């Protein structure tokens, strides 16, 4: 059409409305019907059709993601047909080329036209795809080269490569090739049609690499690898088309990297006019892989310009871009981005490195790394940068986030490496692989925590673990052992962060993963998960279940790893702790001492763990007022101070335990000091709600209450009880204890109704968590009796104190510390009922017991003496009263300080008694 530019513009503008109109019509059709409709549309106006084809391709690219290339290709064919009307030189259907009869056109590409052909020389029936090149060969030499290359290609036999069957030159000088005719889909379509996961896509891709590798080892380079040259048949067989054709053309036309090259998949050196090498193919393979995984090519590729590596967009980033593009598939793409981040990114980037020598040297090296990834082994492409990344992460977080996250990282690394040391030789290799998988997973987590990747928001330890758990559950479904190992580790970390509910659900998923793969396949892994479960159950105050899990684990360890000191130690420790909380002191002590023996005999258990058991044993002994307790705890603290930084949470634990022991010993001033220090460390390292913080605060509240420092105790106590009510379950025995402490505070403050309510709540909680015959019930009943007495409900009070005394006798026998306190309360109740005789019997016994069962000059002795002084005063025995008060005062001065409100009150009472005598 001869038109002036202006006319052309005018025509194009007029056509624009027509394009808009027809586009609307085409878009109403289902996707598959559009190409056909397009061909039928627009009469003979090829230009209009080409415009519509381009518009459709653009729209479908936006909608389709992985479909993009297919859409473009599909319409490109339509466009090409229109742009290049059939050449008169093209063979007509039915005509022959060499031994082949042309049956029709299969397609047209950059290099030429492809025909469906059938062998027609009568020798045998054979189908083929016959490709006539666009350009003729000139000169006998080039013709010779072409034929020789063809011979070489014909010898290339591999199930993944479409065979070259025949070839020759048509009379006008253009060469032709006949290839095995493949009925399949381009690999992106196939992957999409089968909705392949990342792992399955990679597995499919391995078949491509295998074929390429065989060709490379025969010194044959493809030179034009792209999605449309990689087909997958319905049977799932990968078939590479046009192998060596680019090279043939190269020899044919001396036009290096020229005719027919697909710039989108061309390597930089190819575009720069360099020679085709195997590295060129590796580059193209990397791009195809990226396309398969993300539906896109790295940024800057579309135009094929050369680029520097920093500008390349990582596959995970491409997937994220895809996520922002399509609302319906956003989640899928986000998830995929997370899977790709790290190892797969590194693999693709290495394959498409700008400089050939930076790429994988061979297709099999690329395949090997993909295999590494699939098997959970470290990937070579990231091997060098890994330690760097880890170190960088720790350096960055040491200052900013504080001890918590550094400890967490230390724990992650230690746990990830643990697998090596623990497992027997037979399973060692698999275990090492899993340990590696776990380790690389953890390192990926660090990278997720990288502020640069999280838009400046530093992940907390908890968020890091949440991320890890989610990923482990979503992405490791195909590797149940690794998944179970990892979930177990994460559960342990949640546990150490005090996130017991999350720890519980996580360990349950881990155990579910173990069950899914059969309990016997990895007994030690199962034992490990059970052990962690028992530790978590212990923290959740579910002591009987805790014992059950630990016993199950012990059975397995006894059968498979009898000599594994660490495991045995941990399990015995766990059992000891759970039995302690169940009130089975004898069992608790037995297991505790066994654990201590193992730790002493096996340095491998680690000094720190040995200290834990000393600590635990100390607390156990403490519960029966054993004098051995405090020295044991103090020795643990001293050793910890040598091993650990001064504000380490383990040191806080020690301090907290020592504070408790000192309360029991009656050394309240030291107790308050140590508990306050522990409280402050926990507060700094964790937060106010962390269980360790709650325990230390509880101890401090007790110490302050008993010291008579009620203002301080009061503000601490009301803060504490709010947190307890908000964060602890109704049936958590710890909640019972904290509520009891709050009741004791209320009692000391004279708020008897609050005290009664608290004690009733504590009792109820303890009964639910620990049963009716637990030592705590002794305390609860006695405290309730005390509150009721103050509220003048004498009969009820008497009932409860009797219950307390009866249980103490049942559990411990006569003459115990519990008895001494119970007798005092019962005596005061009797005194309120003017039953001096009963009061006298009980108080004499209470004072005597307090002298014998408690350490010397114990504050509880002062309480007993004061009670007896009250009786003496009521009975008119003023000298007796003065004597008892005098002793009580001297004890209080020593134990509570001269300023304590309790000391002051005693002094005043004593002064009041003496006055009338003067």
Partner 1 sequence: MRESDITLLLTAWSSGNHEARDELFGVLYRDLHRLAHRALADQPNEATLDTTSLVHELYLRLAADFQPLDQNRARFFILAATVMRRILIDRARARLAAKRGSGERALTLAGDSPQPATSAEAEEVLAVNDALDHLEQRDPRLVRMVELRWFAGFSVEETAQLLEVSPRTVKRDWHKARALLEDWLIEVAGRPG
Judged by CB under 8 A, the stretch of 5-13, 155-163, 488-496, 802-810 that binds partner 1 is 5-13
Q: Cβ of residue 9: shortest distance to partner 1, in angstroms?
A: 6
Q: Please, how many CA atoms are within 13 Å of residue 670, restricted to the half-sphere of its CB?
A: 16
51 binds partner 1 (CB under 8 A): yes
Which is nearer to partner 1, 50 or 846 (by Cβ)? Answer: 50
Is there a contact between 879 and 916 (Cβ–Cβ < 8 Å)? no
Q: Cβ of residue 403: shortest distance to partner 1, in angstroms?
A: 42
7 binds partner 1 (CB under 8 A): no
19 binds partner 1 (CB under 8 A): yes
Of 56, 287, 550, 788, the residue at the interface with partner 1 (CB under 8 A) is 56
Judged by CB under 8 A, the stretch of 13-21, 108-116, 423-431, 824-832 that binds partner 1 is 13-21
Q: Cβ of residue 32: shortest distance to partner 1, in angstroms?
A: 18
Q: Which residues contact 382 (CB under 8 A, 6 or more apart)?
A: 342, 343, 346, 440
Q: How far is CA 336 from CA 60, 249, 392, in A?
A: 21, 39, 26
Tell me the Ramachandran region of residue 300: left when phi exceeds 0, alpha when psi lies from -120 to 50, beta otherwise: left
Tell me the Ramachandran region of residue 254: left when phi exceeds 0, alpha when psi lies from -120 to 50, beta otherwise: left
Which is nearer to partner 1, 16 or 361 (by Cβ)? Answer: 16
Which is nearer to partner 1, 27 or 429 (by Cβ)? Answer: 27
Which is nearer to partner 1, 71 or 220 (by Cβ)? Answer: 71
Token pair belonging to 341: 């981040």
Partners of 184 in the beta sheet? 233
State the binding string over 322-341 for partner 1 (x if CB under 8 A, else -): -----x--------------
Give CA–CA dist 236/261, Å, rounded. Answer: 27
Q: Cβ of residue 308: shortest distance to partner 1, in angstroms?
A: 19
Give CA–CA dist 451/903, Å, rounded. Answer: 56
Q: Which residues contact 324 (CB under 8 A, 6 or more apart)?
A: 330
Burial call 216-253: b when 16+ CB within 10 Å, e when fewer: beeebbbbbbbbbbbbbeeeeebbbbbbbbbbbbbebb
Q: Cβ of residue 84: shortest distance to partner 1, in angstroms?
A: 17
516 binds partner 1 (CB under 8 A): no
Cα dihedral sign, 835-838-844-846: negative
Which is nearer to partner 1, 51 or 676 (by Cβ)? Answer: 51
Token pair belonging to 515: 């069950």
62 binds partner 1 (CB under 8 A): yes
Q: Cβ of residue 42: shortest distance to partner 1, in angstroms?
A: 14
Which is nearer to partner 1, 52 or 289 (by Cβ)? Answer: 52
Antiparallel, parallel or unpaired: β 175-179 and 164-169:
antiparallel
DSSP-derived secondary structure letter, 67: G
Is there a contact between 567 and 559 (Cβ–Cβ < 8 Å)? no
Partners of 132 in the beta sheet? 113, 176
12 binds partner 1 (CB under 8 A): yes
Using N-to-C axis directions, what is the helix angle for 245-253 and 140-154, rounded to 10°? Answer: 170
Q: Cβ of residue 71: shortest distance to partner 1, in angstroms?
A: 12
Which is nearer to partner 1, 63 or 470 (by Cβ)? Answer: 63
Token pair belonging to 457: 């928001």
Token pair belonging to 214: 């065989």
Q: Which residue has the tokens 């006569």?
A: 814
Q: Cβ of residue 2: shortest distance to partner 1, in angstroms?
A: 18
83 binds partner 1 (CB under 8 A): no
Which is nearer to partner 1, 16 or 237 (by Cβ)? Answer: 16
Which is nearer to partner 1, 15 or 127 (by Cβ)? Answer: 15
Give CA–CA dist 72/299, Å, rounded. Answer: 18
Neighbour tally for 518: CB within 10 Å: 10
16 binds partner 1 (CB under 8 A): yes
Give CA–CA dist 686/496, Å, rounded. Answer: 11
320 binds partner 1 (CB under 8 A): no
Which is nearer to partner 1, 27 or 601 (by Cβ)? Answer: 27
796 binds partner 1 (CB under 8 A): no
Give CA–CA dist 490/415, Å, rounded. Answer: 10
Partners of 238 in the beta sheet? 232
Of 21, 689, 899, 908, the residue at the interface with partner 1 (CB under 8 A) is 21
Which is nearer to partner 1, 17 or 856 (by Cβ)? Answer: 17
Judged by CB under 8 A, the stretch of 55-63, 293-301, 392-400, 661-669 that binds partner 1 is 55-63
Which is nearer to partner 1, 73 or 818 (by Cβ)? Answer: 73
55 binds partner 1 (CB under 8 A): yes
Partners of 186 in the beta sheet? 231
Of 31, 46, 54, 606, the residue at the interface with partner 1 (CB under 8 A) is 54
305 binds partner 1 (CB under 8 A): no
Which is nearer to partner 1, 12 or 912 (by Cβ)? Answer: 12
Judged by CB under 8 A, the stretch of 11-19, 148-156, 253-261, 383-391 that binds partner 1 is 11-19
Of 37, 41, 46, 59, the residue at the interface with partner 1 (CB under 8 A) is 59
Judged by CB under 8 A, the stretch of 20-28, 85-93, 230-238, 605-613 that binds partner 1 is 20-28
13 binds partner 1 (CB under 8 A): yes
Q: What is the separation, in whole angstroms, between the first and last Cα of the chain?
A: 135
Give the number of residues in contact with partner 1, rule: CB under 8 A. 21
Q: Cβ of residue 401: shortest distance to partner 1, in angstroms?
A: 34
Of 58, 331, 387, 544, the residue at the interface with partner 1 (CB under 8 A) is 58
Residues of this chain, 471-500, that bind partner 1 according to CB under 8 A:
none
- Output the CA torsion 191→192→196→200 (10° steps): 20
63 binds partner 1 (CB under 8 A): yes
Which is nearer to partner 1, 59 or 669 (by Cβ)? Answer: 59
Nearest to 290 by CA among 258, 261, 259, 322: 322
Burial of 680 (0-12, 13-18, 19+ CB in 10 A): middle
Q: How far is CA 357 from CA 381, 570, 652, 808, in A?
A: 14, 51, 55, 81
67 binds partner 1 (CB under 8 A): no
426 binds partner 1 (CB under 8 A): no
Of 3, 7, 25, 27, the residue at the interface with partner 1 (CB under 8 A) is 27
Neighbour tally for 571: CB within 10 Å: 29
Which is nearer to partner 1, 218 or 330 (by Cβ)? Answer: 330
Q: Please, how many CA atoms are within 13 Å of residue 234, restricted to the half-sphere of its CB?
A: 1
Q: Please, how many CA atoms are within 13 Å of residue 239, restricted to the half-sphere of its CB?
A: 20
Which is nearer to partner 1, 327 or 520 (by Cβ)? Answer: 327
Is there a contact between 488 and 468 (Cβ–Cβ < 8 Å)? no
Partners of 130 in the beta sheet? 115, 178
Which is nearer to partner 1, 79 or 671 (by Cβ)? Answer: 79
Give CA–CA dist 735/722, Å, rounded. Answer: 11
Q: Cβ of residue 25: shortest distance to partner 1, in angstroms?
A: 12
307 binds partner 1 (CB under 8 A): no
Q: Cβ of residue 335: shortest distance to partner 1, in angstroms?
A: 21
Q: Cβ of residue 52: shortest distance to partner 1, in angstroms?
A: 9
Using CB under 8 A as the criterion, which residues of the chain lie in contact with partner 1 when the complex forms? 9, 12-13, 15-17, 19-21, 23-24, 27, 51, 54-56, 58-59, 62-63, 327
């Amino acid at each position: 059409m001869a038109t002036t530019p202006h006319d052309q513009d005018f025509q194009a503008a007029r056509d624009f409305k027509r394009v808009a109109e027809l586009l609307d019509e085409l878009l109403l059709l289902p996707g598959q019907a559009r190409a056909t409709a397009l061909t039928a549309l627009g009469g003979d106006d090829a230009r209009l059709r080409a415009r519509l084809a381009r518009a459709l391709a653009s729209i479908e690219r936006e909608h389709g993601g992985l479909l993009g290339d297919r859409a473009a290709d599909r319409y490109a064919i339509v466009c090409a047909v229109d742009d290049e009307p059939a050449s008169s030189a093209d063979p007509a259907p039915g005509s022959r080329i060499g031994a082949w009869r042309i049956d029709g056109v299969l397609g047209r590409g950059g290099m030429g036209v492809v025909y469906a052909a059938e062998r027609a020389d009568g020798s045998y029936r054979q189908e083929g795809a016959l490709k006539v090149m666009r350009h003729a060969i000139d000169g006998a030499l080039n013709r010779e080269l072409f034929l020789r290359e063809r011979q070489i290609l014909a010898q290339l036999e591999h199930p993944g490569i479409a065979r070259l069957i025949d070839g020759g030159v048509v009379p006008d000088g253009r060469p032709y090739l006949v290839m095995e005719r493949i009925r399949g889909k381009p690999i992106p379509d196939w992957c999409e049609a089968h909705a392949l996961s990342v792992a399955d896509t990679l597995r499919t891709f391995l078949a491509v690499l295998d074929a390429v590798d065989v060709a490379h080892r025969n010194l044959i380079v493809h030179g034009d690898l792209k999605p449309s040259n990689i087909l997958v048949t319905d049977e799932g067989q990968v078939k590479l088309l046009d192998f060596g054709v680019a090279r043939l053309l190269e020899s044919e036309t001396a036009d290096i990297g020229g005719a027919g090259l697909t710039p989108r998949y061309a390597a930089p050196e190819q575009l720069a006019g360099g020679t085709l090498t195997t590295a060129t193919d590796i580059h193209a393979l990397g791009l195809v892989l990226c396309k398969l995984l993300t539906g896109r090519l790295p940024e800057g590729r579309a135009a094929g310009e050369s680029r520097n590596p920093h500008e390349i967009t990582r596959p995970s980033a491409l997937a994220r871009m895809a996520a922002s593009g399509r609302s319906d598939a956003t989640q899928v793409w986000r998830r995929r981005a997370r899977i790709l981040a790290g190892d797969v990114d590194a693999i693709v980037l290495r394959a498409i490195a700008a400089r050939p020598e930076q790429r994988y040297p061979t297709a099999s090296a690329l395949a090997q790394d993909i295999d590494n990834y699939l098997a959970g082994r470290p990937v070579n492409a990231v091997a060098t940068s890994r330690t760097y990344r880890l170190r960088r992460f720790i350096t960055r977080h040491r200052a900013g986030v504080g001890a918590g996250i550094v400890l967490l990282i230390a724990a992650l690394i230690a746990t990830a490496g643990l697998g090596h040391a623990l497992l027997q030789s037979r399973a060692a290799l698999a275990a090492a692989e899993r340990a590696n998988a776990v380790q690389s997973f953890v390192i990926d987590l660090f990278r997720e925590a990288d502020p640069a990747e999280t838009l400046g928001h530093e992940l907390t330890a908890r968020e890091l673990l949440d991320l890890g758990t989610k990923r482990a559950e979503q992405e490791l479904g195909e590797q149940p052992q690794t998944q179970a190992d990892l979930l177990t580790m994460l559960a342990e970390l949640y546990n150490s962060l005090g996130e017991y509910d999350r720890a519980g659900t996580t360990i349950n998923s881990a155990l579910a993963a173990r069950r899914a793969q059969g309990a016997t396949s990895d007994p030690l892994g199962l034992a490990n998960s059970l052990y962690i479960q028992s530790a978590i159950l212990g923290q959740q105050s579910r002591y009987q279940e805790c014992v059950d899990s630990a016993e199950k684990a012990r059975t397995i360890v006894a059968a498979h790893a009898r000599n594994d000191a660490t495991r045995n130690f941990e399990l015995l420790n766990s059992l000891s702790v759970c039995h302690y909380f169940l009130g089975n002191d004898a069992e608790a002590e037995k297991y505790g001492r066994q654990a201590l023996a193992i730790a002493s005999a096996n340095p491998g258990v680690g000094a720190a763990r040995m200290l834990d058991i000393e600590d635990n044993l100390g607390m156990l002994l403490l519960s029966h007022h054993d004098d051995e307790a405090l020295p044991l705890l103090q020795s643990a603290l001293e050793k910890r101070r040598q091993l650990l930084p001064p504000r380490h949470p383990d040191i806080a634990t020690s301090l907290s335990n020592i504070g408790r022991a000192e309360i029991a010993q009656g050394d309240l001033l030291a107790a308050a000091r140590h508990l306050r220090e522990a409280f402050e460390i926990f507060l700094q390292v964790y937060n106010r709600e962390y269980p360790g913080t709650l325990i230390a605060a509880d101890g401090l509240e007790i110490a302050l209450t008993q010291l008579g420092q009620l203002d301080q105790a009061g503000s601490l106590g009301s803060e504490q009880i709010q947190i307890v009510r908000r964060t602890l379950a109704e049936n958590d025995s710890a909640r019972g204890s904290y509520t009891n402490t709050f009741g004791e505070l209320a009692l000391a403050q004279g708020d008897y109704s609050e005290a009664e309510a608290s004690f009733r709540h504590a009792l109820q909680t303890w009964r639910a968590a620990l049963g009716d015959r637990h030592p705590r019930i002794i305390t609860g009943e006695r405290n309730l009796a005390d509150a009721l007495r103050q509220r003048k409900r004498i009969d009820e009070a008497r009932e409860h104190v009797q219950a307390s005394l009866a249980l103490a006798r049942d559990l411990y026998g006569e003459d115990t510390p519990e008895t001494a306190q119970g007798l005092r309360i019962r005596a005061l109740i009797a005194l309120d009922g003017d039953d001096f005789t009963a009061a006298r019997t009980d108080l004499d016994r209470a004072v005597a017991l307090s002298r014998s069962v408690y350490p010397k000059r114990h504050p509880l002795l002062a309480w007993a003496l004061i009670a007896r002084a009250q009786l003496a005063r009521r009975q008119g025995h003023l000298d007796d009263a003065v004597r008892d008060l005098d002793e009580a005062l001297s004890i209080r001065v020593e134990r509570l300080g001269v300023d304590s409100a309790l000391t002051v009150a005693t002094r005043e009472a004593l002064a009041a008694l003496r006055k009338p005598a003067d």
